[in-house]
Amino acid sequence: MSVPIIVWFRNDLRLADNPALAAAVQDSATHGAPVIPLYILEDEATDATAPSSARALGGAQRWWLHGSLERLGACCTRRGSPLLLRRGDAGAVLEALVAETGAGSVLWNRRYAPALAARDAAVGERLKERGVDVRSFNAGLLAEPWTVSKKSGGHFKVFTAFWRHLAATLSPPRPTRAPATLKAPKDRPAGDALADWTLLPTKPDWAAGLRERWVPGEVAAQSRLAAFLDGPVGAYAAGRDRPDQDGTSALSPYLAFGELGPRQIWHAARHAADARPELAPGIEVFLREIGWREFQYHLLHHVPDLPDEPLDRRFAGFPWRTDAAGFRAWRRGRTGYPIVDAGMRQLWETGWMHNRVRMIAASFLVKDLLLSWQQGERWFWDTLVDADLAQNVGNWQWVAGSGADASPFFRVFNPVLQGGKFDPEGDYVRRYVPELAGLPRRWIHQPWAAPAEVLRKAGVTLGKDYPHPVLDHGAARDRALTLYRTHKRRA
Ligand code: FAD
């Protein structure tokens, strides 16, 4: 029997450890069925009624997607069945392709953002009504949200308890290898050319920093993981908080696009810990962060309105300010607070920001500028190569004080102290805010306090080369706390 099997790729852009693809290849071997690997560009951006958890990719991720599809396409072609590209409403595209090719099965790996999961379920139902065999798999999580619950019932609301439970019970299946060959259909369906999707920015081309920093794709993901587990992970417990060092894995965009899966990370990390016990403490901390990723998906699944509403309902109706100039200064890295500005410029330049600085910059937006976390979340969504709804929303709410396990609202990050502690020499600031490069470490995180002579020697004229602070942190902190207390009394 040679009824084709469609494998619908989404945010699982890899050939290894891909259960939907592995199942298709197995069926193909048994029945001689051809395999059609398919990617559909779903243009939610054009649909203003789309729920916010089904939003379109941001600009940085469109850049990444191009590189990822290019590489996945080349891998599929090498194995015998090229990746088919189609654009439009996923349900309609699939139904048309089934009709065109006579495909008998459509296989995919599950997505977890509530609106996407609901859409996938509806697509599946429609295909089943047409007699198509529809199967879905888990490629993206160590444990899917509905498989984890508290002993007393219900979902976890606190990370520590969630992770204690999960780490003790987990035994993720071993990742499968990439298939050696893919049998192509006799008549190859026509698809789009990747270049016609114009995922890459042209006018202007703002992606130079992204090209310099990243290589998308499964192969790069694997070598990044191997390089990290080969040593740097040993110092992760302390190094992960230092933006001036390469102390973290930088695997987040690969995870966001599914070029690498958490099960691959889990098994590779466990293997590294067994082979080199001196790395084990760092590996435990690293896997705990993978646990945070799981926890955010768990939360979003159980609290689907998380992208729009504060998890802690006492924050509903919080009187956020509007301040277009302040928001612009924050986005452009011109707040006058060097660690915040370095982070925002790193984000713009490379599509990524160090986790410690994400917390500092987010705190500055929400607590110093008193702008809503949703505004910041949207900016991150558009500029991060690793943008992921569950992670972005969960972390923004955490910083804002309204999320799960959140840092309380009254804990306001002090950008000067944070800079001094986590970028002690000022190297991170010097790299991304080069106009301050000549300042000695004592003043690098607070140039406004530097003596005139020091500024002159460093070639810095405040207000000209680098902005005066847009606000006074101490006064902004007091303002935030007063507002918070008043709101809490009313809520
Ligand atoms: P590593 O330190 O090497 O950690 C390994 C992996 O663990 C990461 O790749 C990531 O998958 C996971 N992880 C690490 N920290 C966290 C965390 N705090 N929460 C959840 N998972 C974590 N991460 C995203 O992937 N996408 C986002 O859109 C995103 N938005 C964020 C917004 C804010 C305001 C903050 C404070 C954090 C956000 N994070 C987000 C979490 C975190 O900053 C990144 O996952 C991390 O910086 C990625 O770098 P890395 O791969 O080197 O991390």
Q: CA angle 437-442-448, nearest 5°? A: 75
Structure tokens belonging to residue 206: 């703002």
Helices 373-383 & 324-332, crossing angle to 10 degrees? Answer: 40
Closest CA to 10 of 103, 130, 150, 110: 110
Give the Å distances, CA to CA, from 169 to 119, 142, 146, 148: 31, 11, 15, 10
The answer to whether 156 and 150 have CB atoms below 8 angstroms apart is yes
Nearest atom of ligand 1 to the alpha carbon of 389? 28
What integer pLDDT is reported at residue 409 of this predicted model?
Answer: 83
Cα 397 to chain centroid distance, Å, stands at: 15
Q: Which atom of ligand 1 is nearest to the CA of 255?
A: 11
Given the cut 0.90, state whether the ipTM is greater than it: yes
| Closest by CA position to 452, among listed 419, 434, 443 | 443
Q: How many CB atoms lie within 10 A of CB 453?
A: 8
Nearest to 87 by CA among 128, 122, 46, 130: 46
Measured from the Cα of 249, ligand 1's closest atom is 3
d(CA 326, CA 410): 21
User: Given the DSSP bridges, would you call strands 105-109 and 5-9 parallel, antiparallel or unpaired?
Assistant: parallel
Residues with CB under 6 A from ligand 1: 240, 248-252, 255-256, 289-290, 292-293, 296, 355, 358-359, 362, 380, 384, 386-388, 391-392, 395-396, 399
The protein residue whose alpha carbon is closest to atom 17 in ligand 1 is 292
Q: Positive or negative CA dihedral for 174, 178, 184, 188?
A: positive
Task: Tokens for 232, please give them.
Answer: 């740097």
Which residue in this structure is represented by tokens 């991170």? Answer: 428
| pLDDT tens over the chain, length 491 residues | 589 999 999 999 999 999 999 999 999 999 999 999 999 999 754 455 556 667 899 999 999 999 999 999 999 999 999 999 999 999 999 999 999 999 999 999 999 999 999 999 999 999 999 999 999 999 999 999 999 999 899 999 999 999 999 999 999 999 999 999 999 999 999 999 999 999 999 989 999 999 999 999 999 999 999 999 998 999 999 999 999 999 999 999 999 999 999 999 999 999 999 999 999 999 999 999 999 999 999 999 999 999 999 999 989 999 999 999 999 999 999 999 999 999 999 999 999 999 999 999 999 999 999 999 999 999 999 999 999 999 999 999 999 999 887 778 888 999 999 999 999 999 999 999 999 999 999 999 999 999 999 999 999 999 999 999 999 999 999 999 999 999 887 77
- Collapse the DSSP code of 175 into the 3-class scheme (helix H, G, I; strand E, B; otherwise coil) and give the result: coil
CB 105 within 8 A of CB 135: yes
Residue nearest to atom 52 of ligand 1 (CA): 250
State the DSSP string of 262-294.
Answer: HHHHHHHHHHHHHH-GGGHHHHHHHHHHHHHHH
Q: Which candidate, 301, 310, 309, 296, places its Cα nearest to that of 390?
A: 296
Which residues are within 8 A (CB) of 296 and not within 5 positions of it... i.e. 6 or more apart? 390, 391, 393, 394, 395
Residue 45's pLDDT is what?
A: 47
Q: Whose CA is nearest to atom 16 of ligand 1?
A: 289
What are the tokens at 59?
């600009």
pLDDT for residue 37: 98
Q: Which are the catalytic amino acids?
A: 289, 292, 320, 355, 373, 396
Spatial separation of the C-alpha atoms in residues 254 and 159, rounded to whole Å: 23
CA distance 264 to 12: 13
Residue closest via CA to ligand 1's atom 32 equals: 392
In the block, which residue shows the tokens 């004592």?
442
Which pLDDT value is given to residue 118? 94
Residues in the chain: 491
Cross-strand pairs, 5: 35, 105
- Return the ligand 1 atom nearest residue 251 CA: 51
CA 448 to centroid of ligand 1, rounded, Å? 32
Chain-centroid distance of CA 58 in Å reads 11
| Beta-carbon contacts of residue 322 (< 8 Å; ≥ 6 apart) | 371
Mutate to test the pocket of ligand 1, among 355, 363, 418 (most ligand atoms within 8 A of CB): 355
- The amino acid at 144: E
Q: What CA–CA distance (Å, rounded) separates 217 from 239? A: 26
E strand intervals along 281-359: none
SS in 3 state form for 370-386? CCCHHHHHHHHHHHCCC
Residue with tokens 């048309």: 96
